[in-house]
C-alpha cells in the first residue's frame, strides 16, 4: 500500500479491511513524510508504528 491510499482509507466513511502481518488492523494515523502509520490490531487492541508498504488492503468490510 502507499501513503496516499492509507490516508484515503483513514478518511473514508466506509470500513475498508487492512491487514498487517496477516492480522486485521485499524489505521489511526498516517505520516506521509516517513511513509509510516500507527495502526491498532482489531483483536488485541494494541497500537504499533509500521511501514505503510507492509499494509495490505483486503477490501470493504461487512457492517455489524
Q: Which set of grid coordinates corresponds to residue 7?
A: 490516508
Residue 63 pLDDT? 67
The model's pTM: 0.89
Residue 42 pLDDT? 94
How close are the terminal C-alpha atoms of the chain, in Å? 26
Distance between CA 64 and CA 46 in Å, rounded? Answer: 22
For residue 53, which of 15, 8, 4, 16 has the smallest C-alpha distance?
4
Residue 62 pLDDT? 73
Residue 64 pLDDT? 56
The string of pLDDT tens digits covering residues 8-63 is: 999 999 999 999 999 999 999 999 999 999 999 999 999 999 999 999 999 988 76
Domain spans in the chain, listed from the N-terminal domain onward: 3-60
Which CATH number describes the domain made up of 3-60? Answer: 2.30.30
Distance between CA 43 and CA 29 in Å, rounded? Answer: 18
CA 3 to chain centroid: 10
Residue 61 pLDDT? 84
Amino acid at each position: 500500500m502507499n501513503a496516499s491510499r492509507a490516508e484515503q482509507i483513514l478518511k473514508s466513511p466506509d470500513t475498508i479491511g487492512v491487514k498487517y502481518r496477516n492480522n486485521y488492523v485499524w489505521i489511526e494515523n498516517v505520516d506521509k513524510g516517513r511513509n509510516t502509520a500507527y495502526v491498532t490490531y482489531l483483536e488485541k487492541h494494541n497500537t504499533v508504528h509500521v511501514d505503510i508498504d507492509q499494509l495490505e488492503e483486503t477490501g470493504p468490510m461487512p457492517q455489524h
